[in-house]
Structure 1
Amino acid sequence: MKPIKLTLQAFGPFSGVEQIDFRSLGESPLFLINGPTGSGKSSILDAICYALYGETTGSERTGDQMRCDYADAKLLTTITFEFELANVRYQITRSPDQEVPKQRGEGMTKKSHSAELINLDTDTLIASKPKQVATEVQTLIGLDVKQFRQVMVIPQGKFRELLTASSKERESIFGQLFQTQIYTTIERVLFERAAGIRRAKEEFDNQIKGALDVASIKSEQHLIQVLAELTPIIEKSEAELKQAETARLMLNKP
């Protein structure tokens, strides 16, 4: 996933509208987000994660808790994130639950969590509900929010969680990252074929055993021994049969 543009509105420490155009950073695959403590570095990562999944990078803060306390009451807390994935551009716009001024009269009213995902290349609305957007994002990226936090947007102090994750968890994470599903599929197909060969051999062995039991033969080695003993007798009998047949033909001649 390649970030293109991030717009934060009344989110975290940003009381107004802030826009980050990642294209201005050039084509380098690495860049540094630098600033003093409390300047909003983590909030940028929170905004990206929240736009994608509806959750921040940590369990300490929910989306509705990310509204800036100093923002104008009429300014909605909204995140707009544009990114590129597999040469396709997408845009997500998401707003958390929040209190907004009533359109009529005084006081506040609740505006519910909303989100939409758009394919910018085709101008197609992919999803228009929060959970649907999160599901579509998971399908596109191949990571759920927990995996995304662990390997893509690691919050402060959370790197240890990746290091101490179980082998099964790491296998799942790295399998998604490096697209190893094809090797898993090959392994499964080979396992099924091997199982089929084993079953066929067992059936064949049972057939041989059944035939030996009918002939009162103890084993294949015993069968070879019996055949070796009977072969001379059979050959002698066949020779005698041939002589007798010749003699019969001579007697029948006029």
Structure 2
Amino acid sequence: MRPLDLTLEGFRSYADRARFDWRGRRLVGIVGPIGSGKSTILDGIAFALYGKTPAITRGTHALIHQQRDAAQVQMTFRVEGGTWQVTRAIRRKGAGQHLLAPFDEASNTADQGRAVTGERAVNERIERLLGLDFSAFQRSILLAQGRFQEFLQATPTDRDKVLRGVFGLDRIEAMHAVAREREREARADADQAARQIAALTEARERIAQAELALAAIESVSVLGVFQASPAVRRALAGRTV
């Protein structure tokens, strides 16, 4: 995920509208004295994507600037497969707004006709786009102050879960599981076909043996007639005369 621009208004320390444009920049540093709003920018990114921040996951009214009745955060970001613009607005009174729309960088416009609306729907779509839930995001992409040491001290299981989410290993493992299941089914089909072929081969062999046995019986029957007792031969000879 690559953020392209971020707009904050009435959000935490930004009472007035502030826009940050990172297009064309490979590396961005956020510097400034204490209290200048550096952390608010990172909180704005987190809030735009997940509707919450590392410090405030509930009661988001606390994110509204004390001199404002509403706050709005809008961010355009690029992920594999496309560019999106997310807009979230919260109010001290009344319902908020959550909207995610495909964004055309050429025309610099969002496709409102294909927008996803509603907090839950937007959250779920963004999680699918990023392949990370909020917990994995803040542990790997957005490490809050003092959290890096926490990541290093996390259990191997927790670190493994985070890294799997970051690199998309869960999806790869799911694909491997599907491939292994299909391989198992193919092997089972092949084994069944082999058993059927073996059964047919055995049946052919039995038929061949039966035909040989029948031919032998017929040969023995004919030979037995000619090897019968002289009286029988004379009787047969008399009948033919």
2:42 to 32, 42, 45: 45
For residues 119-198 of structure 1, what are the structure 2 equivalents within 5 Å?
A: 119-121=102-104, 123=111, 124-180=113-169, 181-187=171-177, 189-190=179-180
The C-alpha deviation readout for 1:195-240, integer Å capped at 9, x for no partner, is 9979x99xxxxxxxxxxxxxxxxxxxxxxxxxxxxxxxxxxxxxxx
Q: CA deviation at 1:48?
A: 0.8
Letter in 2 for 1:53: Y
Letter in 1 for 2:175: T
Say if 1:129 and 1:195 are closer, same or farther in 2 by CA, change over 3 A.
closer
2-side partners of 1:81 and 1:36: how far apart?
24
2-side partners of 1:49 and 1:247: how far apart?
101
Say if 1:117 and 1:194 are closer, same or farther in 2 by CA, change over 3 A.
closer
2-side partners of 1:184 and 1:3: how far apart?
28
Name the residue aligned to 1:56: 53
Letter in 1 for 2:118: K
Name the residue aligned to 1:36: 33
Q: CA deviation at 1:129?
A: 1.3
Partner SS for 2:100: strand
Is 1:89 the counterpart of 2:47 in the alignment? no
TM-score (norm 1): 0.65
Q: CA deviation at 1:31?
A: 2.0
The C-alpha deviation readout for 1:109-140, integer Å capped at 9, x for no partner, is x1322211111237134322122211111111
CA contact 1:45–1:57 (8 Å) conserved in 2: no
Is 1:112 the counterpart of 2:101 in the alignment? no
Say if 1:85 and 1:195 are closer, same or farther in 2 by CA, change over 3 A.
closer
Letter in 2 for 1:118: A
Partner SS for 1:38: coil
Number of equivalent positions: 198
2-side partners of 1:72 and 1:247: how far apart?
119
Q: CA deviation at 1:87?
A: 4.7
Name the residue aligned to 2:62: 65
Partner SS for 1:77: strand
Name the residue aligned to 1:211: none
2-side partners of 1:191 and 1:156: how far apart?
44
CA contact 2:102–2:114 (8 Å) conserved in 1: yes
1-side partners of 2:32 and 2:227: how far apart?
121
Unaligned runs of 5+ in 1: 99-109, 202-240
Say if 1:145 and 1:72 are closer, same or farther in 2 by CA, change over 3 A.
closer
The C-alpha deviation readout for 1:3-42, integer Å capped at 9, x for no partner, is 111111011111211110111xx342x3211111111111
Partner SS for 1:116: strand
2-side partners of 1:66 and 1:97: how far apart?
10
Unaligned runs of 5+ in 2: 105-109, 192-215
> Which has the larger helix fraction?
2
Say if 1:89 and 1:55 are closer, same or farther in 2 by CA, change over 3 A.
same
CA contact 1:93–1:117 (8 Å) conserved in 2: yes
2-side partners of 1:169 and 1:250: how far apart?
94
CA contact 2:48–2:86 (8 Å) conserved in 1: yes
Say if 1:88 and 1:247 are closer, same or farther in 2 by CA, change over 3 A.
closer
Letter in 2 for 1:19: R
